[in-house]
Structure 1
Amino acid sequence: MRQRRRTVLKGTVALGSTALMGRAQPHRTGSGSRRTPPEGLTLQWLGVAGWELRFGDARLLFDPYLSRMPFQSPDGSVDPSLPLRLDPKAVTAVAERNLAGPPDLILVSHGHFDHLADVPQLLGHPDWAGHRIRTLCDETADHLLAAMGAPDRRLADVIRVRGGEHLRFPGFTVEVLRSLHSQFSDHGYFAPGTHVGRPRTPRTLGDLVEGATLAYQVSFDDGPSVYLSGTSNLAERELTGLRPDIAVVGMTSHSAVHRYPQRLLGVLGDPPLLLPSHHDDMLSPLLPTAAPTGRSAAATALEEAAAARGAGGTRVLDPVPLRPFGLTAPAGR
């Protein structure tokens, strides 16, 4: 069974000033002792399943998708025949105005358009040319990156993983976890498939097939551990013994998955802090607009799942896209 020292978190969650605006506030799900991630971690939701993580000198991106292209047929379902309509201007704007700089590592959960499509442009961003960016992904995503024109000088820095790897990087480790994709209400999957060689240049949403779906746990040296999932599903036995301080929880539709949030929280040991993800409309422009009023349905659902489990030590933070927030220890601890 996987074992890891779990950081003792004391007091209350203290957030950076940007996090205190709008919905980005912690919520207590019940009574009990409080624990706070060690100071120094900054997170930024990039919309959909995308996140930026910063701790000390380490910078990581997870599933950075910024183009927000049309993806639905008239009946509201995801249409794999729609053309890829990448938005290079939007990607450049976020890279230059919102990200802290070039990442050391990009983590990709699977090959679908809303997770992988903008990675080639980010790898080739001219302002990041002198910085080595490594990419963790499965074999299918690796082939899709090549087919989409990821810069050749970067391809040597793609690390193919399958799940089960525990990799060391300067300042942190990454544990690669086999996972499952979200399922439609009829139990089907969007754009399944794999590639064992480079395919033709992708032209439609469905050309970016799933491959193997992965989740990750990033553990920062002398800092918190963060579970990252890009989907609303899990391979429960793969997570046995994992005890992250923070869990980024995919919250797309999961009606076909039996007790998804409850099972996830249970196998992860009721993490002290939960962050819903992949629950926006995937279309509205990513702009620094006024903070929404009220809490999102995804955050409320996570609160209810935690409360049903009696997880009094768990809090739910409702993030706002492109509003970085820091997690710090309270004064006088």
Structure 2
Amino acid sequence: MGQSRRSVLQGALGAGAAGLLVGGAAPLPAAHARWQSKRSKGAPLGLRWLGVAGWELSFGGRSVLFDPYLSRMPYAGEDGALDPALPIALDPEVVELVAEKSLTGPPELILVSHGHFDHLADVPQLLARPAWSDRRVRTLCDTTSRHLLAAMGTPAHRMADVVAVDGGDHLQFDGYSVEVFRSLHSRQQDYSSFAAGSRTAVPSKPRTLGDLVEGQTLSYQVTIEGGPSVLLTGTSNVAERELAGARPDIAVVGMSGHAAVHGYPDRLLTALGSPSVLLPCHHDDMVTPLGDAGLARSVASDAAQALERAAARARPDGGTRVLVPRHLEMLDVMAGA
């Protein structure tokens, strides 16, 4: 990474991250009646968008990470398309700086939706952080992602806490549960999939973007005892029959290209029963550095608009609201509920 890139991010975070990190909670519109009673019972839940599909969930001084990818490495060839032959170009200084300055603290849990570079690549560095060495951090992912994490040099003591899961798992943690759903990856315009494939054993160290293969794509629903439930999706596709009955209060919806996927996101909202709050994700350009003055312009505005139209079709009464996150800004999803 060039020094100028680090300096830009350091300056933004050091100055309170004007336009990026907001110290006060951003209030949400009034939430659906089904979780009104949770406001007084549960700890406040904060959601911080890390860019691409990445999120931090923060509650009661604890946190869970989902698809934390901060390196924002080059991914496109000369034609502008995803190029699987490009080298993996991690940005360890940015990962460390954001982890130090912007995250709540050591996560209890890291959730990984699938093995692609923009979801998995920074997880080994985060797990190896010396500042988190005295805290137990579990990771949930599919078997392919577990093998890729080992191949990328994840410390052995952390690998002992990398748990391979599949759709149908519903795991209980202290004060919250995590339900795992089988999902699908989005399709490219020609209906193909980027870096498809799986790994049944630990491969050689991945060196190109295409070496980080998808495996099985998963979605996760985190339900806080006495608080809201949050569905986290990392791609813009849906296996709707897998999600039937999930009924999250909040849904984080992947909104990368989905023209080849029939009826998305309407089928997603129908399967979920129209959550109270929707948050788009995976709708930035994936490469503009965190802290860059043009970062906000890297976000596709039509992603939120597409969600708003789908929400209006699903809930003409306005009971489903779409919020537009900003990079590294904490949203308090209980405020105003």
| TM range, smaller chain | 0.7 to 0.9
Q: Does 1:250 align with 2:251?
A: no
Structure number with the higher helix fraction is: 2
1:55: Cα distance to partner? 1.4
- Unaligned runs of 5+ residues in structure 2 are 1-21
Q: Is the 8 A contact 1:168 1:174 kept in 2?
A: yes
Distance 1:167 1:34, change over 3 A: closer
Q: CA 1:58–1:288 in structure 2 vs 1: closer, same or farther (change >3 Å)? A: farther
Equivalent pairs, count: 310
Pick one of 280, 283, 300 that aligns with 2:284: 280
Q: Is the 8 A contact 1:79 1:205 kept in 2?
A: yes
Counterpart check, 1:305 vs 2:316: no
In structure 2, C-alpha distance between the alignment counterparts of 1:68 and 1:125, rounded to whole Å: 19
Q: Which residue of 1 aligns with 2:127?
A: 123
CA distance in 1, matches of 2:229, 2:34: 17
Q: 1:61/1:152 Cα in 2 relative to 1: closer, same or farther (>3 Å)?
A: same
Structure 1 unaligned blocks of 5 or more? 1-15
Is the 2:62–2:104 contact (alpha carbons within 8 Å) kept by the matching residues of 1?
Answer: no
Measure, in 2, the Cα distance between the counterparts of 1:121 and 1:141: 15
What's the counterpart of residue 160 of structure 2?
156
Report the Cα offset of residue 57 of structure 1: 4.0
1:180/1:153 CA distance change after superposition, 3 Å: same
Which of 309, 319, 326 aligns to 2:332? It is 326
TM-score by length of 2: 0.87
1:326 is displaced (CA, Å) by: 1.0
Task: Measure how far apart 1:296 and its partner are.
Answer: 2.0
Aligned residues with identical type, % of pairs: 59
User: d(CA) in 2 for partners of 1:156 and 1:35?
Assistant: 36
Shift of 1:291: 8.6
Alignment check: 8 A CA contact 2:61 2:104 kept: no
Counterpart code for 1:191: A
Amino acid at match of 1:302: L
2:315 and 2:249 map into 1 onto residues whose CA distance is 17
Distance across 2 between alignment mates of 1:122 and 1:158: 13
CA contact (8 A) 2:116 2:214 kept: yes
Q: 1:230 aligns with which of 208, 230, 234?
A: 234
Q: What is the one-letter code of the residue matched to 1:326?
A: D
Name the residue aligned to 2:13: none
**Aligned match for 1:317, one of 312, 323, 332:** 323
How far 1:138 moved relative to its partner? 0.6
Classify 1:218/1:283 alpha carbon distance in 2 versus 1 (closer, same or farther; 3 Å). Answer: same
RMSD: 2.3
Shift of 1:176: 0.4
Farther-moved stretch of structure 1 (81-90 vs 279-288): 279-288
1:290-321 CA-partner distances (Å, limit 9, x unpaired)? 89489822111100111122342000110000
Between the aligned partners of 1:125 and 1:107, the Cα distance in structure 2 is: 17
Runs (4 or more) in structure 1 with deviation over 4 Å come to: 16-20, 25-28, 32-37, 288-295
How big is the shift at 1:171? 1.2
The aligned residue for residue 197 of structure 1 is 201
TM-score, reference length from structure 1: 0.88
Q: Which amino acid aligns with 2:328?
A: L
| Corresponding residue of 1:110 | 114
- Asked if the contact 1:288/1:322 (under 8 Å) is kept, the reply is no
Q: Distance in 2 between matches of 1:222 and 1:26?
A: 19
Q: CA deviation at 1:129?
A: 0.2
Distance 1:99 1:262, change over 3 A: same
Q: Give me the whole-angstrom Cα distance separating, in 1, the residues matched to 2:127 and 2:188.
A: 32
Task: Indicate if the aligned counterparts of 1:163 and 1:176 stay in contact, CA closer than 8 A.
Answer: yes
Deviates more, 1:50-59 or 1:62-71: 50-59
Comparing 150-159 with 307-316, greater Cα deviation is found at: 307-316
Between 296-305 and 306-315, the greater mean CA deviation after superposition: 306-315
How far 1:144 moved relative to its partner?
0.2
The answer to whether structure 1 residue 267 and structure 2 residue 274 are counterparts is no
Matched position secondary structure for 2:126: helix
Q: What SS class does the counterpart of residue 125 from structure 2 fall into?
A: helix
SS in 2 for 1:217: strand
1:280 and 1:296 map into 2 onto residues whose CA distance is 9
- Alpha-carbon displacement from aligned partner over 1:167-192 (angstroms, at most 9, x marks no partner): 00111100000000010111110000
Tell me the secondary structure at the aligned position of residue 168 of structure 1. Answer: strand
For 1:18 and 1:126, the matched residues in 2 are separated by: 29
